[in-house]
Amino acid sequence: MSRPTLAKGYEPWDVEEKWENHWEEDKTFAPDVNDGNDPYSIVIPPPNVTGVLHMGHALNLTLQDILCRFNRQQGKSVLWIPGTDHAGIATQNVVERQLKEEGKTRDDLGREKFIERVWEWKKEKGDHILSQIRRMGASVDWSREAFTFDDQRAKAVRKVFVELYRKGLIYKGDYIINWCNRCHTALADDEVEHEDKPGNLWHIKYPLADGSGDLIIATTRPETLLGDTGVAVNPDDDRFNKYIGSTVILPLVGRELPVIGDRYVDIEFGTGCLKVTPAHDMNDWELGRKHDLQVLPILDEKGYVNENAPEKYRGMHKDEARKAVVADLEAQGLLVEVAEHDHKVGVCYRCKSVIEPHVSTQWFVSMKPLAEKARAAVPERTQIYPESWSKTYYNWLDEIRDWCISRQIWWGHRIPAWTCQECGEIIVEMDDPTTCSKCGSANIVQDEDVLDTWFSSALWPFSTMGWPEDTAELAKYYPTSCLVTGFDILFFWVARMMMMGLEFMEEVPFHHVYIHALVRDEHGKKMSKSTGNVIDPLDMISKYGADALRFTLTSFAAMGRDIKLSEQRIEGYRHFMNKIWNAARFALMNLPETVPAADVSKAESLADKWILHRLDEVKEQVARATREYRFNEIAQTLYKFIWSEFCDWYLEMIKPALYGEDEQAKAMTQRVLWTVLSETLVMLHPVTPFITQEIWSALPRPEGDDRSEDIATLAYPDMRPGLRNDAAMAEMELFMGVVSGVRNIRTELVIEPARRLNLLVKTAGDADKAVLEANADLIKSLARLESVEIGPDVQGPKASGSTVVQGNEIYVPLEGVVDFDAELARLDKEMAKIDKGLVGVTKKLANPGFVNNAPADVVEKEKAKQAEMEEKKTKLTELQERLRSVMG
């Protein structure tokens, strides 16, 4: 059979598109649920339909793909389900911005037409992220693609809501929630991000009602005093506990407020006296409920002062109200002090607007009963990697509050609850009701709100497999094997999936959770558009290919450590792809159309025995690292084996056999070469699927090898312990030590590569002598030698470069090879240049003005420069001494 040839250089773009299309059209990754093989399943963390591929996605997809491709190689029935999240707030914002450009609002369209408009946008642009996932080479089953807002997921959402409501775990009530004035919706606690912002502490007099003095209150939000309904002090604070039970006059308003005692008050913070505004602070809400204080909202849903405040301030935006309140306090002599105070401010995770605590009627999930089960499941039924994240998981579940699941938007799963306008009954059923179940009235109205996007995402592991129907996929693939995700959605998503899986499937949703780290820039800074340090994965794929990007991310994906990424590193691994390609082209030029059917266990040459030993070790190391989620070790093991051992040593060592006249030796070497290359491609395939597939399709086969043309379907290569050969390893280490010793001498003394040298080896024993003599021709070839003399009585001339390898003395005569005086002069000149540079950088680092005021990364660069120059100076000094010793 005629096979395709490999182009002179590897150009990934045509290769990637070709195999992407092949795998999808051929349904290579669509498993047969009835195949009888052990299951392995993963659900993709569904990216938002509004999203574009970023480096965190690229890392996540790469790691998942490695696991899926590796487990297929283990003979498992692998199901990797793709899909997207409808991203309620984000998607609605996108479409509302489009409407704004047209001079319209969603209210102009009405709910039904607006939803139609969002669906139009989704069909046109909402699947863009999926095409980007394809470019990463993700081996997902596209025939099972899911969407959190499609009909199947809607059935699951409806059933979960109804059952939780019937169990009393979903309820409706007044509560303080996080409110975004920009998005006009409630947010769950974990949808609020906290940013450090500069601010102030205003110290304000609250006069005691009996006229005996004032209590000084420190606050970061003076405008909310209009809604104060109490003042709190710590009962253990001897300064103020005598005022508990008395009252104060609320400045600017005139209401009398009770002074309460509660140990929640921090004696050390501010003045030790706390204003209590239950309607506008989460902690004050709890204090108010505990002490039966009035809840008095003074801001509406858009952030404007309402009718509960004095008339003067009504209609002002909260920022305007702050200025007015502070001015009035100052005018009335009630403002004591304004101190600078930096503090954490909650902002919306979508639009970054400042969050306003707001009392509202919302829908909630009672979390405590669900959280207890989810907590108990780790680590007995689900293990988290790295294990350190378990503590964070526990802490969040232990401190969990009820989950506000209603959102005041239109795009999303509308809450399946109807309220009777006659008797007030709430009706929650699987099918849309037409009449009130209590009074029979047809005057029932569905709730206007939609469910939090994370509600549908929490059902993802089983809803994607067809639940609530009893499907074959659920029976075989649930629970899933592993969830790969970022730590930032450990609470948003992972914990909630645990709760819902245990509640509705009576089983954890995944056996393992692998939490990957952040991808940062090369200086360790978080990537962001504002700092201009974002590395776009799609740009990197366009420039260097998907395989180079995937290998780079894998090589730095050490468990628990953030990745410091630079474009130069990706470019470096693009060179590695070229190395693999060129090695494959060399092999193809030296392999016949049908590979000889030789038994590699009978290989006799040192090169063949050694590389087969190392191949078996690498197979074991890569398999173990994959099972233990040590992704960086997969890449590093393969990199070292392919670049250094296979390419730099083995391919050079076998050239005499490939080009020689001994046909039997040639046939054996060809079979070993094919074995090592083909099995290495299979091991490498989960990390770099495209280049390995392209090379495999061009690789000839031995007679009788009828394996698939698709490398993605091949089994992981079998271990062959019989090929382990410790003696060959020891001989090879000696061989490489001698060749490397000569090469190092050549490099140190700047001897041109073309210059043939002589080598003298004083051997330490008969065994070493036999090994070196048996491989003398190879040593001459690889070290570029004119002659080699080996024996126990060999003596090297005084003017020699020398080293010791496993007790064997290596001498390279230098008389007539090196101009010692010229070399010393060159070293003196280079040393002077380094000394001059060291003076400058040392002076700069000794300057406190530079060290204290320059950016940290600039200072670190100077320190690294200093260390590099000092190291180079040390090496030059050692070389000078060595040359003088040789000359001596």
Average pLDDT over residues 292-309: 93
With tokens 């490498």, the residue in question is: 684
Residue-level pLDDT at 190: 62
Sign of CA dihedral 70, 73, 76, 78: positive
Whether the per-residue pLDDT at 198 is higher than 80: the answer is yes
Whether the per-residue pLDDT at 2 is higher than 70: the answer is no
Whether the per-residue pLDDT at 538 is higher than 60: the answer is yes
Q: How far apart are CA 626 and CA 631, in angstroms?
A: 6
Instruction: Strands of 223-322 (E only): list them.
Output: 230-233, 247-249, 256-261, 273-276
Residue-level pLDDT at 553: 97
What stretch(es) of the chain map to CATH 3.90.740.10? 199-341
Task: Give the confidence band of 751 by pLDDT, cuts at 50, 70, 90.
Answer: confident
Write down the architecture of domain 199-341 according to CATH.
Answer: Alpha-Beta Complex (3.90)
The answer to which of 419-423, 692-696, 829-833 has the lowest mean pLDDT is 829-833
Flag whether 275 is marked binding: no
Kindly report the three-state secondary structure assignment for every residue of 310-377: CHHHCCCEHHHHHHHHHHHHHHCCCEEEEEECCEEEEEECCCCCEEEEEEEEEEEECCHHHHHHHHHC
Whether the per-residue pLDDT at 1 is higher than 60: the answer is no
Whether the per-residue pLDDT at 3 is higher than 90: the answer is no
Whether the per-residue pLDDT at 457 is higher than 60: the answer is yes
Task: Please provide residue 83's backbone torsions phi and psi, each rounded to the nearest 5 degrees.
Answer: 170, 175
Task: Give the confidence band of 335 by pLDDT, cuts at 50, 70, 90.
Answer: very high
Write down the architecture of domain 543-705 according to CATH.
Answer: Orthogonal Bundle (1.10)
Q: How far apart are CA 277 and CA 297, in angstroms?
A: 9
Query: Over the stretch 244-263, which tens digit does the pLDDT of each residue have?
Result: 999 999 999 999 999 999 99
Average pLDDT over residues 8-13: 92
Average pLDDT over residues 120-139: 91
- Can you list the alpha helix ranges (DSSP code H) found in 416-561? 453-457, 460-463, 472-477, 496-504, 537-544, 546-555
What is the reported pTM?
0.84
* Residue 723 neighbours by CB under 8 Å, 6+ apart: 600, 601, 612, 613, 615, 616
Q: Which of 713, 670, 517 is nearest to 23 (CA)?
A: 713
Number of H-type helices and E-type strands within the chain: 30, 33
Q: How far apart are CA 536 and CA 737, in angstroms?
A: 43
CB 337 within 8 A of CB 256: no
Residue-level pLDDT at 34: 95
Whether the per-residue pLDDT at 766 is higher than 60: the answer is yes
- CA separation, residue 857 to residues 523, 561, 841, 863 (Å): 7, 20, 15, 10
Average pLDDT over residues 404-419: 94
Kindly report the three-state secondary structure assignment for every residue of 813-860: ECCCCCCHHHHHHHHHHHHHHHHHHHHHHHHHHCCHHHHHHCCHHHHH
Q: What is the mean pLDDT of the chain?
A: 92
Sign of CA dihedral 596, 601, 607, 610: positive
Q: Report DSSP state, residue 749.
A: T
Q: What percent of the chain has pLDDT over 90?
A: 75
What stretch(es) of the chain map to CATH 1.10.730.10? 543-705
- Can you list the alpha helix ranges (DSSP code H) found in 377-434? 389-398
Work out whether strand 701-702 and strand 757-762 pair parallel, antiparallel, or are unpaired. unpaired
Average pLDDT over residues 615-621: 98
Q: What is the CATH number of domain 728-818?
A: 3.30.2320
Whether the per-residue pLDDT at 886 is higher than 60: the answer is yes
CB 412 within 8 A of CB 149: yes
Q: What percent of the chain has pLDDT over 70?
A: 99
What is the distance, to the nearest Å, from the Cα of residue 501 to the centroid of all Cα atoms in its chain?
Answer: 24
Class of domain 821-887: mainly alpha
Whether the per-residue pLDDT at 320 is higher than 70: the answer is yes
Residue-by-residue DSSP string for 190-220 = GGEEEEEE--EEEEEEEEBTTSS-EEEEEES
Average pLDDT over residues 709-735: 95
